[in-house]
Amino acid sequence: MMRLFLVTCFVLTAGLLAVDANSSKDRDAAVLYRKYCVSCHGTDGRGKTSKGRFNHARDLTNPEWQDDVTDERIFNSILNGRDVAGTMPPFNHKINQKEADSLVNFVRKLRG
């Protein structure tokens, strides 16, 4: 009986830790997004800020763009910048690859 109780406690604790780890990653990505991306892409990802309109920031919520773009391209754009309009700077000196991965997942969740 005690063994069953301990196993149940272990499983529940492991599940809670996994949920907390995922929500922690989401929070970390949200913090990075607010720090580096909001000024152009806006809190909603639509790029409707004054700086975003001036720099032609991508609407990250656009379903067609979301369907067409790969995670790898988003990742590379974050780290290396995009020079299509010459305005998105690279962030490879400010964030690491793991953080860029978390931002890719965050951007995917902005889909409209």
Predicted confidence (pLDDT) per residue in 48-98, tens digit? 999 999 989 999 999 999 999 999 999 999 999 986 666 899 999 999 999
| HSE value, Cβ hemisphere, 13 Å, CA-based, for 60 | 25
**Residue 3: pLDDT band with limits 50, 70, 90:** low
**Euclidean distance between CA atoms 36 and 111, whole angstroms:** 19
Backbone angles phi, psi at 61, to 5 degrees: -90, -10
In a 13 Å sphere around the CA of 24, the CA atoms on its Cβ side amount to 6
What pLDDT score does 50 carry? 95
How far is CA 40 from each of CA 5, 12, 25, 70, 88, rounded to the nearest angstrom? 52, 41, 22, 21, 9
Q: Which whole number is the average pLDDT over 28-41? A: 96
Domain ranges of the chain: 37-112
User: Is residue 7's pLDDT more than 90?
Assistant: no
Taking the CA atoms of 53, 55, 59 and 65 in sequence, report the sign of the dihedral they define.
positive
The pLDDT confidence band at residue 23, using thresholds 50, 70 and 90, is low
Predicted pLDDT of residue 83 = 66
Q: Are the beta carbons of 60 and 47 closer than 8 angstroms?
A: yes
Confidence of residue 112 (pLDDT cuts 50, 70, 90): confident
Q: What is the pLDDT of residue 71?
A: 98
pTM of the model as a whole: 0.75
Superfamily of domain 37-112: Cytochrome c-like domain (1.10.760.10)
Is 47:62 a contact under the CB 8 Å cutoff?
Answer: no
